[in-house]
Chain A
Amino acid sequence: MINLAGRDILNGWGKFAFTGVGLGLLIGVTLSMAGIYRGMVEDATVLIDGSGADLWVVQQGTLGPYAEPSSLRDDVVRSIAGLPGVAGAGNVAYLTMQVSHGTGEARVMLVGFEHGRPGEPDHLVAGRPVTRGHYEAVADEKSGLKVGERVRIRRHDYEVVGLTRRMVSASGDPMLFVPLKDAQEVQFLKDNDTLVNERARTAANPAFNRPGVPGLLEAVQASQAQSRQVNSVLVRLAPGADADTVAENIRRWKRLQAYTKAQMEEILVAKLIATSSRQIAMFLVILSVVSAAIVAFIIYTLTVNKVREIAVLKLIGATNATIGGMILQQALGLGLIGFVVGRIVAGLWAPIFPKYVLLIPGDAARGFAAVMVICALASVVAIRAALKVDPAEAIGG
């Protein structure tokens, strides 16, 4: 039996191809939306894996350090490092900020870490690790910074000595790693006018400027000019240690919150990017409905334009299954062209997106199945119209 759908497509391949490309662009957008969601999840996973930590210790009652602000004293790390099951612990400070460099500005997540402890970037794609105590940085390559480039952070210039890859915040900002002391200074550094103003206020406070207590005022003023706070302590467990047990010990004895890797993933994926994922899901639904409407309209139009031929086919003995099959195959053919075009364009424009777009084969397979189902459903209207065609229409009168 002749494949009527295939012959019709070949006969009007130009119209069909253009329609397929148009549909493909829409499918490409849909696949990209799914890729953006996957990219967000992947960024969150990489953020967790890239930190090298097994536990995150944060301020009690917070979801920090990524989802909520958290503040700890930087000496807490010593008491945590002494707990059973802990192989190492390191302070980290996080803050998102705008930094300037030779060719422009970049929005980054500044990460303060302690050399040789959890939180230090361990995979470099260029350059070397930070070895000096101050004013050196390792940047994620997505920031656009190059090795040897100088970047201005508040009052100081930092030299980029190494580059990492896929180290971004949950919101997609590239990370810039600097020594912890520098990050603390950046985080809590006050401008000169504020410092002068606060010193004057402190000096005017009789509680801090008591006659007969030498050195008290200077000590208070010194404490106001420096910060001993960090956002989190990252903990690496000893081999065989149970993460939940150690976390429970920290919660009970240190009056701090401790999250395991699984709990941190839950916070990032289910809480931090939950709204974004719902937003994307809405877009996917809308785009699917629009795609279905377009396919339905196109297939319906193609069918209506063939009413006389369908009447002749029915008159000469073609079954409803033959005619319905022809229309269904055309809808599926259109979907196939659209999917192929969509997958190609989604792959082509994914690197241009500012945020990571992850196109995974599973999503592509599900997308293909969805496109085929949508096209099949969209062809129902046209098939109904074709089946209503009276074969008598082929005969005049």
Chain B
Amino acid sequence: MTVANDTPAIRIQGLKKRYGAGDTAVDALKGVDMTVAPGEVVGLIGPSGSGKSTLLKCLGAVIEPTAGRMEISGEAIYDDGWKLDDLRALRRDRIGFIFQAPYLISFLDVTDNVALLPMLAGARNADARARARELLDALDVGHRAAARISQLSGGEQQRVAIARALANRPPVILADEPTAPLDSERALTVVRILNGMAAKFQAAIIVVTHDEKIIPTFRRLYHIRDGKTHEEPGEGRAP
């Protein structure tokens, strides 16, 4: 992996999340630390209920942590409280999401699924569509640009979802089990694509996964257990 500069794309320090209060309170995150450099792809692994999804939701600014600090590209977005008023704009402009299922918008065609993000950010339709086609070409699905989502294979849909995540050139991409529904070959292809996109766009990608097929491909892993992360070196095999 190449690292563009010394400022981490993501830095998390002592992040905590407590659900509920009193006797029924559950501490899902008990002080998570994590640092990911621009252009780096790291794996986040752990058993069910260990706090992976909670961490992802905190990183994605869809739930509010209880304590700690989060920075994106050196800017504090959370420091014992949100530092930004517009979390929607944060998610739109600075965080890309890739889900277990592609969750594409079924009533939009392939191009507009990708172009929607730049459009939401205020880009002109023609510019947004040009950017979408560029990304689709880069992900080898440019030939399906006018297709409806229902006409795509599972692998093609996942590539379109990756293109959508990259559409606003965010510094951070959160991928939630992106290879779960895919066979080995396609899963490794997706990892290859993620690695390529991370390098090309200098995006930090956190991949939450259970998938034994792709875990050896990460150079760095965060193992989350009982609400705490433990950094481990990965094998870094070529996917």
Interface residues of A, Cβ cutoff 8 Å to B: 1-2, 4, 7-8, 10-12, 308-309, 312-319, 322, 390-392, 394-397
* Interfacial residues of chain B within 15-33, with CB under 8 A of chain A in the complex: none
Cβ-neighbour of B176 out of A1, A10, A396 (below 8 A): A396
Question: How far is it, in angstroms, between the C-alpha of A1 and the C-alpha of B116 when the chains are bound?
Answer: 8
Tell me which residues across on chain A come within 8 A of B103, comparing CB atoms. 308-309, 312, 394
Interface check B40, CB cutoff 8 A: no
With CB as the reference atom, state the residue of chain A lying closest to B105: A309
Given contacts A317-B92, A396-B177, 7 further A-B contacts (CB under 8 A): A1-B120, A7-B112, A312-B103, A316-B117, A392-B63, A395-B56, A397-B57
Question: How far is it, in angstroms, between the C-alpha of A190 and the C-alpha of B60 when the chains are bound?
Answer: 96
Tell me which residues across on chain A come within 8 A of B88, comparing CB atoms. 314, 317-319
Interface check B151, CB cutoff 8 A: no
Q: How far is the CB of A95 from chain B (nearest CB, A)?
A: 65
25 A-B pairs (CB sep. < 8 Å): A1-B125, A2-B108, A2-B116, A2-B119, A2-B125, A4-B108, A7-B107, A7-B108, A11-B148, A309-B103, A309-B106, A315-B60, A316-B92, A316-B97, A316-B120, A317-B91, A322-B120, A391-B62, A392-B60, A392-B62, A395-B62, A395-B176, A396-B100, A397-B52, A397-B54
With CB as the reference atom, state the residue of chain B lying closest to A310: B105
Interface of B is mostly: helix
Proximity bits, B66-109, A CB within 8 Å = 1, else 0: 00000000000000000000001101110001011001011110
Tell me which residues across on chain B come within 8 A of A11, comparing CB atoms. 106-107, 148
Q: How far is the CB of B70 from chain A (nearest CB, A)?
A: 16
With CB as the reference atom, state the residue of chain B lying closest to A391: B62
Q: How far is the CB of B200 from chain A (nearest CB, A)?
A: 21
With CB as the reference atom, state the residue of chain B lying closest to A9: B107
| B62 and A315 within 8 A (CB) | yes
| B115 and A2 within 8 A (CB) | yes
Q: How far is the CB of A8 from chain B (nearest CB, A)?
A: 4
Interface check B53, CB cutoff 8 A: yes
User: What are the 7 A-B residue pairs with the smallest beta carbon separation, nearest first?
Assistant: A397-B53, A317-B92, A11-B107, A8-B107, A392-B62, A312-B103, A7-B107
Give the interface size class of chain B. Answer: 20 to 34
Q: How far is the CB of B157 from chain A (nearest CB, A)?
A: 13
Tell me which residues across on chain B come within 8 A of A322, comparing CB atoms. 120
Question: How far is it, in angstroms, between the C-alpha of A296 and the C-alpha of B89 when the chains are bound?
Answer: 31
Q: How far is the CB of B162 from chain A (nearest CB, A)?
A: 13
Tell me which residues across on chain B come within 8 A of A395, comparing CB atoms. 53, 56-57, 60, 62, 97, 99, 176
With CB as the reference atom, state the residue of chain B lying closest to A314: B88
Question: How far is it, in angstroms, between the C-alpha of A163 and the C-alpha of B97 when the chains are bound?
Answer: 78
| A317 and B120 within 8 A (CB) | yes
Q: How far is the CB of A378 from chain B (nearest CB, A)?
A: 21
Interface check B238, CB cutoff 8 A: no
Interface check B121, CB cutoff 8 A: yes
Interface check B164, CB cutoff 8 A: yes
Tell me which residues across on chain A come within 8 A of B107, comparing CB atoms. 4, 7-8, 10-12
Q: How far is the CB of B236 from chain A (nearest CB, A)?
A: 26
Question: How far is it, in angstroms, between the C-alpha of A1 and the C-alpha of B119 when the chains are bound?
Answer: 6
| A316 and B91 within 8 A (CB) | yes
Tell me which residues across on chain A come within 8 A of B89, comparing CB atoms. 317
Q: How far is the CB of A302 from chain B (nearest CB, A)?
A: 11
Question: How far is it, in angstroms, between the C-alpha of A317 and the C-alpha of B88 when the chains are bound?
Answer: 5
Tell me which residues across on chain B come within 8 A of A4, comparing CB atoms. 105, 107-108
Cβ-neighbour of A390 out of B62, B119, B121 (below 8 A): B62
